[in-house]
Chains A and B, each alone.
Chain A
Amino acid sequence: MLIGLINGSFYALLSLGLAVIFGMLNIINFTHGAQYMLGAFAAYFLLLYAGLGYWWAIIIAPILVGITGIIIERLFLQWLYKLDHLYGLLLTFGLALIFEGTFRNFFGSSGLPYSVPPTLQGGQNLGFMFLPNYRAWVVVFSLAVCLTTWFVIERTKLGSYLRAATENPTLVRAFGINVPRMITLTYGFGVALAALAGVMAAPIYNVSPQMGANLIIVVFAVVVIGGMGSIMGAIVTGFGLGIIEGLTNVFFPEASNTVIFIIMAIVLLIRPAGLFGRAT
């Protein structure tokens, strides 16, 4: 159950970033897993070369990786919006392979350790179980980040620009709003969310070049179940499926790797637009 919530936190953060990017750019960002990995490596480098610990990394790493995202958007993605989804998919998948291959070349695939920050070491004995402080922090903090993102998109003026531009960019441009800049920043933000998840994952899993590749397949299933581009859908299904996966692990461990894909198949049969998706 707890492991489920932890996994769910990462699913939610990652699928939220994917949903935001897909909604605005219409691009399926296959680089997302690599960007999550870059976030973890950024935290590792910050500690190794600059002596900056976890609390600095959790702020600086997403900004750095977000900036690389903005550069990628300006250099490559912006030319693809008018083309078929397939081109964006190929490009982002290729970038992911390049990032992961480069890091594997330099750091091998065994994984590098990153320790839990001193303030969050230890844990609470809840009577029926032992709750490590760091894991509680991951769940609470990622939930807070998810809900803040949801609030900004669904309830603020800036969010109304984003939603409007998702729906009809041409008209929003005609009102004099700078849509291309919004798209660039949205991609940067979605990528920064992935990096943030990477920093938070570093003390739990090891920092390794494939850490994203393993996770991203499940995250795509989460996005499909929640409904492509749906913000709340990404958050709720992220946490929900994490818990389901965790429970399956307890009661029927053999199925824990496949349960999400079984749910995905069922959801696609019954509601092809996803649980929270708007049918178009």
Chain B
Amino acid sequence: MLSPSSAPLLAVEGLQAWYGESHVLHGASFEVLVGEVVTLEGRELIGLTSDRIARLGIALCPEERGIFASLDVEENLLLPPKVRPGGLELDRIFELFPNLRERLSNQGTKLSGGEQQMLAIGRILRTGARLLLLDEPTEGLAPVIIEQIGKTIGMLKQQGFTILLVEQNFRFASTVADRYYVMENGRIIDRFANAELEANLDKLHEYLGV
């Protein structure tokens, strides 16, 4: 297992974003170290523009999965171009998500929600990007599937992938994350490591309003 090194793979400073006319990010700053899973908690999208995501070499698994209805499963899987060598082979992806192999010629959106999520994660593993941005991967999925996605994230972490997870489901995030950033109204209002989780639980409940 790779241990997180101290060099940040992604350092974002003073991120501003607008969604239509509303100012949704007010100078958020955070960093992600190599080989760790970092979670952004809160109700905001992360607000990087699509061109910047591509330029930074981040592989995006978008909110609501972004599976293409006009493409079959295989085309969906092969769509994102390789950004650098060293991505997973198709066979490895099928080992992780055996369901996908059987459904290659199905229309992408005919898969179940869980399978679509697997497809959305699987297709970015091929690209060779080492930093994965998973935007609410558990949204609208059954607990069994969420557990499976948690296991997958753990496995990806072991293989040296670095993951930035945007998640409102805190209970899920706490099973996989190394560090947390809490975001509210477009600002990072708190940050702590997994080891400090217990001490911060009360505060966190307050932030998330649960």
Chain A interface (Cβ < 8 Å from any Cβ of B): 157, 160-161, 163-164, 166-168, 170-177
Contact = CB atoms under 8 A, between A and B. Distances in A.
Contacts of A176: 54-55, 80-81, 83
Interface string B53-93: 11100001010001011110001001111010000000000
Q: Which of B50, B62, B80 has the largest number of chain A CB atoms within 10 A?
A: B50
A174 B79 contact: no
24 contacts: A160-B78, A160-B79, A161-B79, A164-B71, A164-B79, A166-B70, A167-B68, A167-B69, A168-B66, A168-B68, A171-B50, A171-B60, A171-B62, A171-B66, A174-B50, A174-B53, A174-B54, A174-B60, A174-B62, A175-B54, A175-B60, A175-B80, A175-B127, A177-B54
Given A168-B66, A175-B54, A175-B81, 5 more contacts: A163-B71, A167-B68, A171-B50, A172-B79, A176-B54
A81 to B, nearest CB: 15
A163 B75 CA distance: 10
A172 B62 CA distance: 11
Top-7 shortest CB links A-B: A176-B54, A174-B50, A173-B50, A175-B80, A163-B70, A160-B75, A174-B53
Interface residues of B, number: 19
Contacts of A172: 79
Contacts of B51: 173-174
A220 to B, nearest CB: 23
Contact of A173 (B54, B71, B78): B54
A177 B68 CA distance: 15
Contacts of A164: 68, 70-71, 75, 79
Contacts of B78: 157, 160
Contacts of B68: 163-164, 167-168
Nearest to A165: B68
A174 B62 CA distance: 10
Nearest to B48: A174
A175 B66 CA distance: 12
A231 to B, nearest CB: 10
Determine chain B's interface SS by DSSP, over half rule. Answer: loop
Given A173-B50, A174-B60, A167 B70 contact: yes
Contacts of A173: 50-51, 54
Contacts of B79: 160-161, 164, 172, 175
Contacts of B127: 175
Contacts of B54: 173-177
Contacts of A157: 78
A174 B80 CA distance: 9
A165 to B, nearest CB: 9
Nearest to A154: B70
A164 B67 CA distance: 9
A48 B74 CA distance: 51
Contacts of B60: 171, 174-175
Contacts of A163: 68, 70-71
Nearest to A23: B70
Nearest to B66: A171
Contacts of A166: 70
Q: Which of B60, B68, B81 has the largest number of chain A CB atoms within 10 A?
A: B68
B66 to A, nearest CB: 5
B81 A160 contact: no
Nearest to A171: B66
Contacts of A171: 50, 60, 62, 66
A177 B62 contact: no
A163 B76 CA distance: 11
Contacts of A177: 54, 81
A160 B73 CA distance: 11
Nearest to A176: B54
Q: Which of A168, A170, A173, A174 has the largest number of chain B CB atoms within 10 A?
A: A174
A234 to B, nearest CB: 15
Given A175-B60, A176-B83, A170 B50 contact: yes
A191 B206 CA distance: 58
Contacts of B70: 163-164, 166-167
Contacts of B62: 171, 174
Nearest to A155: B75
A183 B69 CA distance: 20
Contacts of A174: 50-51, 53-54, 60, 62
